[in-house]
C-alpha cells in the first residue's frame, strides 16, 4: 500500500518530497522525522521531534480484520487536521499539540500618519496667512478711500483761484489798447525807432524830382539826373538834432564817370545844405570811395547788392558806417540843428529798400 504524500499544514497543498516551504501559499515550515510536516519553529530553537506528532499526514498503521476503515481507499478522502470540524480524534499514545498557524510578519508600508502636533502647526500657519490677507485688503481699501476723499480737497481751491487771476490780469489788459494806436505810427517794433518809411501804398509824404519814384514798395531812382544831384527828403520830424539814419540800398547800374555818386543827407535845412555822406567815383569814374563829403574815406565797392548804410550825428561829431563798420568821420559845427534827412543821386540807377531814423544808441 503506497504512502500518502505530505501536505501543507496551512493551505493543504501537496508538497514535494523534502520541501520546507509551500509553493502555493509561500509559508515555511519544518520537517519532522519520518517525512511529516510541522509548523515553523520558533526563532533560535530547533523543533522537538515527537515520535508520532499530531497532525502528521502519513497513513495510520493498518489494523487486522476487515472493516470499513481497512476497506477505504487511501485517496478517498483528504486527511483533516486534528481540531478541525469532522476530524477524528488523535490516536491514543500520540503526544504533542496540534500544529498552529503563524501569520506572516506584516511589511511596513513606508507611510506614517501625521501627528496631531504637525496638523496643529499647519492649521496655525493657514490662520496666520488668512489674517495677513484680510489686513492687506483692509489697508488697500483704506488707502483708496483716503485718496478718493483727498481728491475734492485738491480741486477745491481751483474755483477760488480762477476769479482772482482774471481780476489781476483784467486791469493789465484794459490799458493796452490805448497806447497801441499812438505807438503804431512810430513803429515800436525796434527800440529807439523814431521813423520808418512805408512805401507799400505810395510815396508816404516823400517829395522830390521825377527821377525818384515809388514802385513795388521801394523808392526807385532811374539814374536820369546825370548833370546834378537829385535830392529827396523824408517827412520832417520836429525837435530832432542828434539822431542816426539807417538805409538799405541796392545799386542796379551806372555809367562810370567823374560825376556819378549817390548818398545821404543829415541835418539839412530848407531842403538844402546839411552834411552829405555817400559813395563817390575814383579817377576812373568807378564808384569805389566811401566818405563824408570833402573828407578822406575808404575804398568800398557797392557790388550791385544790398548794403546797409548808417550816418550818426551827435553834437559836432558825424560818423559814416557801412555794414556796421566805420568808413569816415567828421567834426563840424556848421549844421548844428538841421531837422531834415534824405537821399541824393546823380547818374546811378538804384532801389532804396528801407529808410529809418533812430535815436542814438539804438
What tens digit of pLDDT does each residue of 338-358 get? 788 999 999 999 999 999 999
Which is it for strands 340-346 and 325-331: parallel, antiparallel or unpaired? unpaired
Question: Band of the pLDDT at 140, cuts 50, 70, 90?
Answer: confident
What tens digit of pLDDT does each residue of 211-235 get? 999 999 999 999 998 778 899 999 8
In this structure, the answer to whether residues 213 and 344 fall within a common structural domain is: yes
Query: Helix or strand or coil: residue 205?
Result: coil
DSSP secondary structure string, 268-291? EBTTB-SEEEEEEE-TTS-EEEEE
Give mean pLDDT, residues 182-211. Answer: 74
Closest CA to 9 of 81, 59, 89: 81
In this structure, the answer to whether residues 200 and 69 fall within a common structural domain is: no
Helix H segments across 115-156? Answer: 116-155
Q: Whole-angstrom Cα distance, residue 320 to residue 342?
A: 15
The CATH number assigned to the domain holding 349 equals 2.60.120.560
Q: Is residue 254 in some structural domain?
A: yes
Question: Band of the pLDDT at 112, cuts 50, 70, 90?
Answer: low
For 97, the domain range is: 1-103
33 or 324: which leads in pLDDT:
324
Please enumerate in sequence order all residues whose Cβ is within 8 A of that of 118, keeping only pairs 6 or more positions apart, or say none.
none
Look-up of cell digits 496551512: 10
Residue 159: per-residue pLDDT? 46
The pTM of the whole model exceeds 0.85? no
| Contact predicate 15/8, CB 8 Å | yes
What tens digit of pLDDT does each residue of 158-180 get? 444 444 444 344 344 444 444 43
What tens digit of pLDDT does each residue of 43-75 get? 444 444 444 444 444 444 444 444 444 444 444
What tens digit of pLDDT does each residue of 239-265 get? 677 899 999 999 999 999 999 999 999
Could you say which of 39, 74, 103 is where a domain stops? 103
Q: Comparing 135-144, 195-204, 226-235, which segment has the lowest mean pLDDT?
A: 135-144
Please enumerate in sequence order all residues whose Cβ is within 8 A of that of 308, keeping only pairs 6 or more positions apart, or say none.
246, 247, 248, 322, 323, 324
What angle do helix axes 157-173 and 116-155 make, rounded to 10 degrees? Answer: 30
Could you say which of 69, 103, 137 is where a domain stops? 103
Q: Whole-angstrom Cα distance, residue 26 to residue 124?
A: 49
In this structure, the answer to whether residues 232 and 349 fall within a common structural domain is: yes
Q: Is residue 297 in some structural domain?
A: yes
How many structural domains compose the chain? 2
Please enumerate in sequence order all residues whose Cβ is within 8 A of that of 300, keeping only pairs 6 or more positions apart, or say none.
279, 288, 289, 290, 322, 327
Q: Is residue 232 in some structural domain?
A: yes
Q: Quickly count: other Cβ atoms within 10 Å of residue 48's Cβ.
A: 10
Residue 255: per-residue pLDDT? 94
Q: Is residue 144 in some structural domain?
A: no
Amino acid at each position: 500500500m503506497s504512502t500518502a504524500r505530505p501536505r501543507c499544514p496551512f493551505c493543504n497543498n501537496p508538497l514535494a518530497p523534502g520541501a520546507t516551504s509551500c509553493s502555493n501559499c509561500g509559508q515555511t515550515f519544518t520537517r519532522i522525522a519520518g517525512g511529516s510536516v510541522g509548523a515553523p519553529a520558533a526563532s533560535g530553537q530547533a523543533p522537538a521531534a515527537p515520535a508520532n506528532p499530531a497532525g502528521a499526514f502519513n497513513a495510520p498503521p493498518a489494523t487486522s480484520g476487515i472493516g470499513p476503515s481497512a476497506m477505504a481507499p487511501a485517496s478517498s478522502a483528504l486527511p483533516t487536521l486534528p481540531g478541525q470540524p469532522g476530524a477524528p480524534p488523535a490516536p491514543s499514545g500520540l503526544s504533542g499539540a496540534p500544529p498552529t498557524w503563524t501569520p506572516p510578519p506584516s511589511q511596513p508600508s513606508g507611510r506614517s500618519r501625521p501627528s496631531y502636533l504637525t496638523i496643529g502647526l499647519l492649521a496655525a500657519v493657514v490662520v496666520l496667512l488668512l489674517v495677513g490677507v484680510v489686513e492687506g485688503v483692509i489697508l488697500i481699501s483704506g488707502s483708496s478711500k483716503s485718496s478718493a476723499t483727498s481728491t475734492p480737497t485738491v480741486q477745491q481751491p481751483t474755483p477760488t483761484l480762477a476769479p482772482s487771476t482774471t481780476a489781476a490780469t483784467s486791469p493789465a489788459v484794459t490799458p493796452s489798447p490805448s497806447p497801441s494806436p499812438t505807438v503804431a505810427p512810430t513803429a515800436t517794433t525796434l527800440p529807439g525807432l523814431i521813423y520808418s518809411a512805408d512805401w507799400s501804398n505810395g510815396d508816404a509824404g516823400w517829395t522830390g524830382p521825377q527821377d525818384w519814384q515809388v514802385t513795388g514798395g521801394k523808392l526807385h531812382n532811374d539814374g536820369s539826373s546825370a548833370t546834378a544831384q537829385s535830392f529827396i527828403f523824408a517827412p520832417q520830424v520836429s525837435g530832432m538834432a542828434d539822431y542816426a539814419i539807417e538805409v538799405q540800398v541796392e545799386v542796379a547800374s551806372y555809367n562810370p564817370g567823374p560825376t556819378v555818386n549817390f548818398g545821404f543827407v543829415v541835418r539839412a535845412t530848407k531842403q538844402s545844405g546839411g552834411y552829405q555822406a555817400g559813395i563817390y567815383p575814383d579817377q576812373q569814374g568807378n564808384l569805389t570811395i566811401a566818405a563824408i563829403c570833402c573828407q578822406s574815406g575808404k575804398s568800398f565797392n557797392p557790388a550791385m547788392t544790398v548794403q546797409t548804410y548808417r550816418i550818426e550825428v551827435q553834437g559836432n561829431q558825424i560818423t559814416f558806417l557801412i555794414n556796421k563798420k566805420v568808413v569816415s568821420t567828421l567834426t563840424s559845427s556848421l549844421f548844428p540843428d538841421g531837422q531834415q534827412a534824405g537821399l541824393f543821386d546823380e547818374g546811378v540807377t538804384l532801389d532804396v529798400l528801407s529808410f529809418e531814423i533812430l535815436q542814438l544808441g539804438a
